[in-house]
Structure 1
Amino acid sequence: MSRYPEGVDVAIVGSGPTGAAYARILSEEAPDAVIALFEVGPTVSNPPGAHVKNIEDPALRAQAQERSEGPGAGSATVNSPGAVKSGERRARPGTYLLADGYQLAGEDGLPVAAFSSNVGGMAAHWTGACPRPGGSERISFLPDLDELLDEGDRLLGVTTNAFDQAPFTALVRERLAAAVDDGRDGAARVQRMPLAVHRREDGRLVWSGSDVVFGDVVRENPNFTLFDESLVVRVLIEDDRAVGVAVRDLRTGAEHEVRARVVVVAADALRTPQVLWASGIRPAALGRFLNDQAQVVYAARLRDVEPPPEDQVAASGALSEQSGVSWVPFTDDLPFHGQIMQLDASPVPLAEDDPVIPGSIVGLGLFCAKDLQWEDRVEFVDDERDSYGMPAMRLHYTLTPVDHAVLDRARAEIVELAHAVGEPIGDRPFTMPLGASLHYQGTTRMGQADDGRSVCDPDSQVWNVPGLFVAGNGVIPTATACNPTLTSVALAVRGARRIARDLAAYPAPVAERA
């Protein structure tokens, strides 16, 4: 017998923060709606969707990360020791790389394009940074954007004061501000990084994953069910509207149809367009305007500070709270976003020839906004299959002269920031391989009108396919340098409210009508 229902009101594909946001808003605003959420990967934490950094036992944490690495688990490109080196293809723990098709002849490609396959998606492995977009990063045709971002903060549990007690936090921020703030307005000055993190009563930090977005309202919703190890192979389309999903049970290999009033595809910016393509839903803009954030990194040792007492150093894999996380916001004049954090908090190893005294060495990262191009895209090959049996991906991606100029400016800027903070480590900053940010966007982009250059409307419903919504970073239509998760969750809130408001207007699934 199938473990899946015959029909539901809403079928959600993907359990990352945006899929979780749809489940949360629908549970709050349409509590009678029957919701099924399908995730290709396994459950690796308790509660489901929790950040693996919250797993205190290092061996159990490593096991959860390995189980998130899907077909890449055990690959030489995953979890290699030592600092990142030029030209090296390496995935972060909990992720795996696109095996081929990541760089085509004559193009830059995305050599380290990566995925995770687990309940919670990439939110089980992220840094939790939730800055707000500014300037041209903002979506100008959404008048309610700020209110939606407020809702995103609520769902993700965003705070700005988690590291106020860390001894070097204020020092790092003051040194950065002295180098950056002149001429900037208040919102663009150096400040605390908004983080999806809270503190337990015992003082330990808890990092938000999809579990926080779900919240008790979803976990206690009798009409909500999460199905892990379940690959949605296509959206069912009848009379040009979405009527459900075809899902393959990865435990048995059997395929089943689940009918639905509404389908939300919230896989990620590469796999969401893949599902639409496999379903025969192929608008001109599908997969187009693919963009990543080129990333320049450097490290510096703080001047004139004493190392923390040994009893203040956190256990392996956890965070030693010494210098926290600071934010240098994006501006249109300086089109990159700065994230400055102590090195042992960074997911990217930067220095291996220098012992890391927790908190005394800070990692600096500048993320660059992409010069958006129609030709930058993910395309799919119907007669080739990936490890899940889905149409194979080919990534077309090239840096423009504008992109190279921005990268040159970022390299110069990060050197100035490193000198402002302390003593730079190494002769020069390092440009990460393209794809390293994991912030892929644009492939199912939102538009104000169906002009052939967008995939969905301002409520995230796919143009000309009633009942089909898309979610995730791929929906963001602007070139951003800031971490995109807060923005994509905000857009998911808007889409979920539309479904909650109009759910009765969508035809009931066949199973209900019968």
Structure 2
Amino acid sequence: MPRSASTAERITPEAGAGFPDEVDVAIVGSGPAGAAYARTLSELAPHLRLAVFEAGPLISDPPGTHVKNIVDSGERARAQRASEGPRPLVEAVSTDTMDGYASDRPRLQRPGTFLLSEGRQGSGEDGLPAAAMSSNVGGMGAHWTGACPRPGDSEVIAFLPELSTWLAEAERLLHVSAEVLADAPFADEVRKRLSVALDHDRVGDRQVQPMPMAVHRTPDGRLLWCGADTVFGDVTRANPRFSLHAEALVTQVLLTEGGPNGRAVRGLRIRDRRTDTDHEVAARYVVVAGDSLRTPQLLYASGVRPAALGRYLNDQPQVVYAVRMRDLPDRTLVADDGVGVTASSGVAWVPFTDAHPYHGQVMQLDASPVPLADDDLKPGSVVGLGWFCAKELRAEDRVAFRDDDTDGYGMPAMDLHYRLTEADHAAVDGARTEILRAAAALGEPLDDTPPLLFPAGASLHYQGTVRMGTADDGTSVCDPNSQVWGVSGLFVAGNGVIPTATACNPTLTSVALAVAGARGIAAAES
């Protein structure tokens, strides 16, 4: 879908140009959560002036497109390299997201992401050696797998009675569908076998089912992955009061004393990365919608340092395996769409439950993180299984920041402190057991290799560092509307806001919370 000319004109057209002097709402970060603020406010409060500032470059048209939708392999590779921050991988390194994924390397980097250069593991700690980020218009939403399951049991944020409504709105914005791959040739066979093996103590919406995916099919049958462009939507792109600014590194949230909460936002300080010049933009509301590492980093750099900032950091330990399905029915397969995406087996979902504190997804190998065997196999006959575990939440697991050192962007350098507890190791053991049970129901293992535990951080599902809470008691950073305690007009967004221990993919929940925060701003401005 081409972007409109008006949107093209509002993406900073040349170095040093295009930054507004003043807006009503300034959004830091252009991933799905930041896009949800822009979309919701464009729909509910079109009179507000909105601006999104993104440290990374524009890599697609329309802005925020998922890189899987870039058909030309050279253009797709350039988009991935451009997303890899201050030190992108060399051109000789493959941009195939599956190459080298399922390996036992201690640091695992996927194309389109970049790792911490240091500070990833404290002495005697597990650390997050595979912790990665992405810098581009669209954020990690330009590279994700599109899985959008709803949380269940203790994953649900119990103090938000409207969460189900917000999740439904997030599903609308992300174009989520559980049907788009559900009728793939082998999908029903995969789900049937998994159900027999795993559903004996599961009920209702916690039984094996098709994975809700942010994917849709074009009239000619091609699969399109949804990214931040889908969330922005035509409403935002056509909004004359909206602008998007790439390569605009926000270095500080500007504050003023006073207001009902003690302090209030007054704007942003932004570095134009193309000219290395600083600019100030006045704003009545600021939404920091970065990832779970860089959102607390910006708050810290701005002197906003509540006790819980950066704490309760949690990843999802991830176990993977692969099998060759046995006794497959003779069915017509789906043709490759030209970018390595087919849908012979669909994507099956094994939901989290409190009795089984992990979440499973089973998918055809071309969409999964397990490399295809070298021999000639029937398309769709090899499936990858990935089980994600819920992490025990601890204040001691945290990202800390240095006052005397900076990262590649000139922001406070990070140090990650992270340990897997006995409960975490027990959850991983349980996931290994369940993934082998699921694999045995489906077929035969590809080789004698046991299920692989990825290095910590490989899930890219970090949460908790600016977590939501019901009281300003030192255990949360923001209130149930996502406004930071003690700072009027300052909101946080993204996976870091999620306060519960989850095993399911977090994007749907973080977009739902962004919808709620944006609705709160719109209501205050109505």
TM-score bracket relative to the smaller structure: over 0.9
Distance in 2 separating the partners of 1:409 and 1:400: 14
Deviation at 1:308, TM superposition (A): 7.6
Distance in 1 separating the partners of 2:394 and 2:94: 30
After TM superposition, the structure 1 = structure 2 runs for residues 239-278 of structure 1, keeping only pairs within 5 Å, are: 239=257, 240-278=263-301
Deviation at 1:124, TM superposition (A): 0.6
* Contact 1:78–1:92 (8 Å) recurs in 2: no
Distance in 2 separating the partners of 1:103 and 1:472: 23
Does 1:68 pair with 2:60?
no
Query: Structure 1 pair 499/77, CA: closer, same or farther in 2 (3 Å)?
Result: farther
Question: 1:487 maps to which residue?
Answer: 509
Deviation at 1:83, TM superposition (A): 4.9
Question: 1:340 maps to which residue?
Answer: 362
Distance in 1 separating the partners of 2:310 and 2:331: 48
Does 1:285 pair with 2:308?
yes
Q: Which of 65, 70, 74 is the aligned partner of 1:55? A: 70
Q: Which of 394, 416, 441 is the aligned partner of 2:463? A: 441
Distance in 2 separating the partners of 1:433 and 1:189: 29
Q: How many residues align?
A: 502
* Contact 1:273–1:287 (8 Å) recurs in 2: yes
* Contact 2:322–2:370 (8 Å) recurs in 1: no
Percent of aligned pairs sharing the same letter? 61
Q: Which of 244, 269, 278 is the aligned partner of 1:226? A: 244
Q: Which of 94, 112, 123 is the aligned partner of 2:112? A: 94
Q: Which of 372, 376, 384 is the aligned partner of 2:397? A: 376
Distance in 2 separating the partners of 1:202 and 1:443: 43
Question: 2:437 maps to which residue?
Answer: 416
Q: Which of 47, 55, 66 is the aligned partner of 1:40? A: 55
After TM superposition, the structure 1 = structure 2 runs for residues 40-439 of structure 1, keeping only pairs within 5 Å, are: 40-74=55-89, 81-239=99-257, 240-305=263-328, 312-315=334-337, 317-346=339-368, 348-351=369-372, 353-354=374-375, 357-427=378-448, 428-439=450-461
Q: Secondary structure at the match of 1:155?
A: helix
Deviation at 1:164, TM superposition (A): 3.2
Q: Deviations over 1:96-151 (max 9, x none)?
A: 11111111110000010001101000111111000000000000000101001001
TM-score (norm 2): 0.93
Q: Secondary structure at the match of 1:327?
A: strand
Letter in 2 for 1:261: R
Distance in 1 separating the partners of 2:205 and 2:174: 21
Distance in 2 separating the partners of 1:418 and 1:406: 18
* 153-162 vs 61-70, which moves further: 61-70
Distance in 2 separating the partners of 1:56 and 1:283: 45
Q: Structure 1: where are the runs of 5+ without partners?
A: 505-514
Q: Deviations over 1:270-303 (max 9, x none)?
A: 0000000000000000000000000000000011
TM-score (norm 1): 0.95
Distance in 2 separating the partners of 1:387 and 1:371: 31
Q: Over aligned residue pairs, what C-alpha RMSD do you find?
A: 1.7
Does 1:3 pair with 2:46?
no
* Contact 1:39–1:229 (8 Å) recurs in 2: yes
Query: Structure 1 pair 140/378, CA: closer, same or farther in 2 (3 Å)?
Result: same
Q: Deviations over 1:447-468 (max 9, x none)?
A: 0111110000000000010010
Query: Structure 1 pair 57/358, CA: closer, same or farther in 2 (3 Å)?
Result: farther
* Contact 1:444–1:475 (8 Å) recurs in 2: yes
* Contact 1:21–1:489 (8 Å) recurs in 2: yes
Letter in 2 for 1:330: F
Q: Deviations over 1:405-448 (max 9, x none)?
A: 11011111111111111111232110011101000000000001
Question: 1:511 maps to which residue?
Answer: none
Deviation at 1:307, TM superposition (A): 8.4
* Contact 1:79–1:90 (8 Å) recurs in 2: no
Q: Which of 442, 457, 482 is the aligned partner of 1:460? A: 482
Q: Deviations over 1:55-108 (max 9, x none)?
A: 112222111111111223125988594453223322111111111111111000
Question: 1:29 maps to which residue?
Answer: 44
Q: Structure 2: where are the runs of 5+ without partners?
A: 1-15, 258-262
Question: 2:524 maps to which residue?
Answer: 502
Query: Structure 1 pair 272/355, CA: closer, same or farther in 2 (3 Å)?
Result: farther
